[in-house]
């Protein structure tokens, strides 16, 4: 029993190790590389933004297509392991081409390799999530499995964010050296993680449930509780995505903070978000998830004006402000997932079919869409206001004023809009308790009929 338990923990650790390169790659694709290609490599700002946005939208469309191919794959190694041998080399090669690029590359170069790195990233993500379904059974085991993957993912983000701090000030301020180091770190972790998963994880997994038809999917999306939750999640994701995309420009160009400290600001935000999770959970139990999510949206909007008032060059105060932003950030990430589980029960009651997977796919896609739109819209907007990344603090007063509005003003509006959708969600705690009662009554009746 103990040996089996140790074996299962080892398998889980191996699978969770794949979260490290996925996390290390995900944030630089949105935050670091767009600024690097537009600033250090001199590519057109709006062009870079549109390519990154198109790549992210493609990623959203690609996931269900790849999932369908994996479900139909038959081999001696199972359905998912063969895709590991496609995704890992593709991710390693495209990471090298993106992170080791030097002046002279163009938008076509960025578009091709960004397209391929998203394919590799999507393959490895789907392989990991699908294989995780075979580790453990029951609600408690599944929560432990996916919680471990999430913990490893956060560790990966922390490692890539702290990398510039370990490189030293001179090295960290060299954009090419920093990006190259990130590339080597991602590649160096991808190789052993992929080997561990390929050699130590079991091949076979239970067959996935069939996908729902188009009409059934449309009917589910059209439900008020689902649509308003997805809309709120999209708006919250877009608001924080805009701030993440623009924070390098804002803090270096407007607040005169050294580039090497930007990662520290993000780390503070994420650490606070994780630390605030138990508090947000207790708040949700006290006032309900819908009200708690609405409060998080209001607080996120309220922090925005304070970010405009930060003193120039003060990293400590900036870190505290970003950490304060991490509290509502943790809420808008956690609470929609919990609320979607409630919505899944509502849909199951009315349709007598379990659409949990599709509903969570909608929620994941809405956050991805927010990240995609944030890069494209922000870079186009920067180009329209005349902001030039290479000039930094030397931009015109009008351009810097526009940057302030994009970094703090627009996200505040999006947070408030998301709050309205969250507040308008009809699936209150009282409604959900009624749904749970009806579901349990129906399940008892079905068990009684089956035993008769």
CATH number, residue 96: 1.20.1250.20
From 189, 205, 221, the end of a domain falls on 205
Q: Is residue 1 part of a domain?
A: no
Same domain, 103 and 242: no
Cβ pair 44, 190 in contact under 8 A: no
Q: Is residue 295 part of a domain?
A: yes
Residue 239 is predicted with a pLDDT of: 92
Q: Is residue 451 part of a domain?
A: no
Same domain, 170 and 229: no
Residue 168 is predicted with a pLDDT of: 60
Same domain, 284 and 221: yes
Residues with Cβ within 8 Å of 149's Cβ and at least 6 positions away in sequence, in order, are 15, 16, 19, 128, 129, 132
Residues with Cβ within 8 Å of 429's Cβ and at least 6 positions away in sequence, in order, are 288, 289, 290
Residue 300 is predicted with a pLDDT of: 94
Residue 215 is predicted with a pLDDT of: 61
Residue keyed to tokens 């960004």: 114
Residue 11 is predicted with a pLDDT of: 80
Same domain, 374 and 432: yes
Residue 207 is predicted with a pLDDT of: 42
From 145, 171, 205, the end of a domain falls on 205
Same domain, 120 and 255: no
Q: How many domains does the chain have?
A: 2
Structural domain boundaries enclosing 83? 9-205
* Cα→Cα distances 173→59, 61, 257, 263, 309, Å: 31, 36, 12, 12, 25
Same domain, 40 and 122: yes
Same domain, 113 and 223: no
Residue by residue, pLDDT tens for the chain (452 residues) are: 344 466 677 787 888 888 889 888 877 887 788 888 888 888 888 888 888 878 777 777 776 667 657 656 767 777 678 888 899 999 999 999 999 988 888 889 999 999 899 888 888 887 776 676 566 544 445 445 655 666 677 778 778 877 766 766 555 557 788 888 889 999 999 999 888 888 877 765 444 444 445 565 666 777 888 899 989 989 998 998 888 888 888 998 888 888 777 777 877 877 787 777 778 877 887 888 899 999 999 999 999 999 999 998 888 898 898 888 888 987 887 778 777 778 877 887 887 766 665 676 677 777 777 877 887 788 888 888 988 877 878 888 888 999 999 998 999 999 999 999 999 999 887 887 888 788 888 878 877 877 76
Residue 170 is predicted with a pLDDT of: 56
Q: Is residue 3 part of a domain?
A: no
Same domain, 137 and 220: no
Q: Is residue 452 part of a domain?
A: no
Q: Give just the sign of the alpha carbon dihedral 276, 304, 164, 15.
A: positive
Same domain, 311 and 331: yes
From 185, 205, 225, the end of a domain falls on 205
Q: Is residue 4 part of a domain?
A: no
pTM of structure: 0.70
Q: What angle do CA 53, 54, 56 make, to 5 degrees?
A: 65
Same domain, 111 and 253: no
Q: Is residue 2 part of a domain?
A: no
Same domain, 190 and 274: no
Tokens of 440: 């349990």
The CA distance from 113 to 109, in Å, is 6
Angle between helix axes 19-30 and 224-253 (nearest 10 degrees) is: 70
Same domain, 150 and 216: no
Residue 131 is predicted with a pLDDT of: 73
Q: Is residue 107 part of a domain?
A: yes
């Amino acid at each position: 029993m103990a040996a089996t338990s140790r074996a299962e923990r080892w398998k889980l650790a191996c699978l969770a190790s794949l979260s490290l390169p996925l996390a290390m790659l995900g944030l630089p694709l949105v935050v670091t590389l767009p600024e690097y290609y537009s600033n250090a490599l001199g590519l057109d700002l709006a062009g870079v933004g549109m390519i990154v946005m198109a790549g992210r939208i493609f990623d959203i469309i690609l996931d269900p297509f790849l999932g369908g191919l994996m479900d139909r794959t038959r081999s001696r190694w199972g359905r998912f392991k063969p895709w590991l041998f496609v995704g890992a080399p593709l991710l390693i090669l495209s990471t090298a081409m993106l992170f080791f690029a030097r002046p002279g590359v163009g938008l076509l170069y960025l578009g091709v390799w960004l397209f391929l790195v998203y394919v590799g990233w999507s393959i490895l993500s789907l392989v990991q999530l699908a294989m995780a379904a075979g580790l453990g059974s029951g609600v408690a085991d599944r929560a432990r499995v996916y919680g471990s993957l999430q913990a490893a993912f956060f560790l990966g983000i922390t490692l890539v964010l702290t990398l510039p701090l370990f490189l030293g000030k001179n090295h960290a301020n060299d954009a090419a050296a920093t990006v190259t180091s990130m590339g080597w770190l991602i590649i160096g972790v991808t190789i052993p993680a992929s080997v561990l998963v390929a050699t130590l994880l079991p091949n076979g997994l239970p067959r996935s449930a069939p996908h729902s038809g188009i009409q059934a999917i449309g009917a589910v999306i059209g439900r008020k509780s689902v649509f308003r939750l997805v809309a709120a999640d999209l708006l919250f994701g877009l608001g924080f995505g805009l701030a993440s995309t623009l924070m390098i420009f804002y803090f270096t160009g407007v607040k005169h903070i050294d580039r090497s400290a930007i990662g520290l600001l993000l780390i503070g935000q994420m650490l606070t978000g994780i630390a605030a999770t138990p508090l947000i959970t207790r708040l949700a139990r006290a006032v309900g998830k819908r009200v708690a999510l609405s409060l998080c949206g209001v607080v996120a909007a309220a922090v925005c004006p304070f970010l405009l008032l930060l003193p120039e060059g003060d990293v400590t105060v900036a870190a505290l402000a970003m950490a304060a932003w991490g509290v509502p950030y943790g809420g808008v990430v956690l609470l929609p997932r919990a609320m979607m589980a409630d919505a899944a029960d509502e849909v199951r009651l009315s349709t007598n079919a379990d659409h949990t997977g599709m509903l969570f796919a909608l929620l994941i896609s809405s956050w991805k869409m927010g990240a995609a739109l944030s890069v494209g819209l922000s870079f186009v907007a920067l180009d329209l206001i005349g902001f030039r990344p290479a000039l930094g603090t030397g931009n015109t007063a009008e351009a810097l004023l526009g940057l302030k509005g994009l970094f703090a003003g627009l996200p505040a509006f999006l947070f408030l809009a998301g709050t309205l959708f969250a507040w308008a969600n009809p699936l209150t705690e009282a409604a959900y308790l009624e749904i749970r009662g009806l579901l349990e009554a129906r399940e008892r009746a079905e068990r009684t009929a089956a035993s008769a």
